[in-house]
Amino acid sequence: MLLSLPTEILQSIFEQLDQTEWKQLRLTNKHLCDIICPLLFPRLVLDIKYSHSRSSRALLKAVASKRTQVASYVETLEIHSLMPPRYKALHFWKRLFKRRQRKYQTLEKHLLAALPKFISVTSIIMDMSAMRYVQPSTEDRIMNSLSSLPSLSHLSVFMYREVGASIPNAIGRHFKNLQSLYFAGDAGCYHGIPSALVANSPTLKELSVDSSNLALSALFSEVDALSLKSITLGNAAQRFLDNMPALRPHIGSLSTFVASESIDVPADFWSVLISQQVILQTLSVHRVDRALLDYLSSYAGLVDLTLSSGPLTNDVESQTLADTFYQSVLPKHGTTLKSLLLSTPHDGPWCLGDLHVDRVIACNHLSFLCIAIGSSEDNMVSDPLNVITRLLNSVCDGRLPLQFFEISFATPAMPAHEDPVISMYSPYAVRGHYRINELVSKYFCASPNPAMLDLALSTGHMNHSKLVLVPEQSELWHFELQNK
C-alpha cells in the first residue's frame, strides 16, 4: 500500500521523520532507498586526516568502485582535509612512510576517481588550513576535479593559516563562473584567491566576507562591474566598506545586505544606495542612524528587516530615531514586509508600546515578528488592551497573518561596569519575563482561525508554544507552556 503512493507524497511523509527512521526505511527496499537518500545525504564531510577519517576513506572507496550511489545525492560537499600529512624528516617517520606509501597511493586513486561522481553538488566548503598536507603532484588534479562538477555554483574558502602559494594558485586557476563566494580568515593567507575567483566569475551574484583586511580595491581590481544581488559581512570584515568608490559599480542590483553586529555601516553606503535607487528586500544591520532611516524612507518594498538599536537609552536622539522608524519607515513598507525583528537590549523608545503597536498591526503580510517589551508595560497583565493581547487579537481576527511571534523583555540600561549576564538574570528582568509569561498563559481564544492555530509563540520562558484546548472546556483555547 505504501509503495503505491506517488513519490511526491512519500517525500512529504518522510520529511516528517527523523534521521534514525530514515536509515531504517532506507534498508527496506530499493524504491524507498531512492526516495530517502536525498533526505539523508544532502551534506557530506570529507575529513581523511582527523575525526571522520575511517568513514571518509571507506566512502571514497565505495564511491570510486561504484558500489554506492550516495555521491549523486550530495548537494553540499565539506572538505576538511583531503590527504594524510607528509611526514617529517625523522628516521622513524621515513620508515613508516615507506611502509604505508602504497596505501596512500591507493587512497589518492580512490579520491580522484570518486570526486567526479558528486554530480549534484552545488556548494563546496573548503578549509584550506587543513589542506596544507596535500601532495603537490595531486593538488592540481583535485582542484580540477572539484571545479568541473557540473552543478557547482557556490564556493566557501576558509584560510586561517599559511599554506603556501601552490594550493591558492590551483583554486584561482580552476574555479570559474561561480554564482556565490564566501571568504573567511586572514586576508594575508589568501595569496590572491579572492580577486582571482571574482575575476573568473563575471556573473557573480552573492558575496560573503568574514575576512580581516580584505581590501575592496584588490578584490574588484580585475573586473569592471558586477551585478551583485547579495552582500553579507561577518564580524571580521570591519573595513570592507571603507572604500565606497571601489564598491559603487557592483551594487546597482543589490537586493540583500546583511552586516554582523561589529560592522559599522558608513553613511556613505546608504547615500550610494539612494543615489543609485537600490531597492533592498532583505536588510539586517546592528547600528541604526539617520542615514539608514533616510534610505529606508526613500523607497517601498522591503520584505525582511532585522534591526538592532544597540546600546541606546532614552536620550533625545534615540527617541527621534525610534519615532521616525515607527511613524515613517514602517508604514512605507507595511504592504510588503513579511519578517520584522527589532532587537533592543535595554528599555527605551525602541520597545514596542501603545503608541506604535497599530503601525505593526497595519503590516498585513507580516508572518515573522520579534519584538521587545519594556518597563512602560509594567501594568500589561491588568490591562485588557495591552500590546501583546492586541497583537494576538489581530492574528485571531485575521488582520495579521503571523506564523511566528517572539516576545522578549528589555531590562533598564545597565551601568558600563555591570555584567550583561547578571543584568539578564536580575530580579527585575526575571519579573518582566514572568509578567509576559503570565499574560500569554492567560490569553484565551474562542473559535480560533487556522492562522491562530498554526501560530508558534516564544517568550523568555516558552518556546514555540501553540494553542490547545483548555481542559474541560470545549470552546476555549490557550497557549500551552513549553519550557525552553
The answer to whether residue 89 scores a pLDDT higher than 50 is: no
**H helices present in 66-203, as ranges:** 91-114, 136-147, 166-174, 193-199
Report the residue count for the chain: 484
Strand pairing category for 282-285 and 256-259: parallel
pLDDT digits (tens, 9 = 90+) for 180-227: 999 988 777 777 888 889 999 999 999 999 987 777 777 888 888 899
pLDDT exceeds cutoff 60 at 96: no
Residue 87: the pLDDT is 46
Q: Can you give the pLDDT at residue 130? A: 63
Cβ neighbours around 450 below 10 Å, total: 8
pLDDT at 105: 72
Query: What percent of the chain clears pLDDT 90, i.e. is strictly above it?
Result: 31
Overall average pLDDT of the 59-80 stretch:
88
Q: Tell me the per-residue pLDDT of 327-368, one tens digit each, with 9 for 90 and over.
A: 999 999 999 999 999 988 777 888 888 888 999 999 999 999
Mean pLDDT for the stretch of residues 313-340: 88
Under the banding of pLDDT at 50, 70 and 90, the label for residue 413 is low
Query: What's the pLDDT at 139?
Result: 78
pTM above 0.85, yes or no: yes
Q: What is the DSSP letter of 447?
A: S
Question: Cα–Cα distance between 470 and 476 in angstroms, integer?
Answer: 6
19 — pLDDT class (breaks 50, 70, 90): confident
428 band by pLDDT with thresholds 50, 70 and 90: low
Minimum mean pLDDT range among 99-113, 210-224, 289-303, 391-405: 99-113
- The pLDDT score that the predictor gives to residue 319 is 86
Distance CA 405, CA 400 (A): 11
Number of other CB atoms surrounding residue 257 within 10 Å: 21
Closest CA to 205 of 134, 256, 159: 256
Predicted confidence band at 375 (pLDDT cuts at 50, 70, 90)?
low
Measured on CA atoms in the order 374, 377, 378, 381, is the torsion positive or negative? negative
Query: In terms of pLDDT, which residue wins out, 29 or 315?
Result: 29
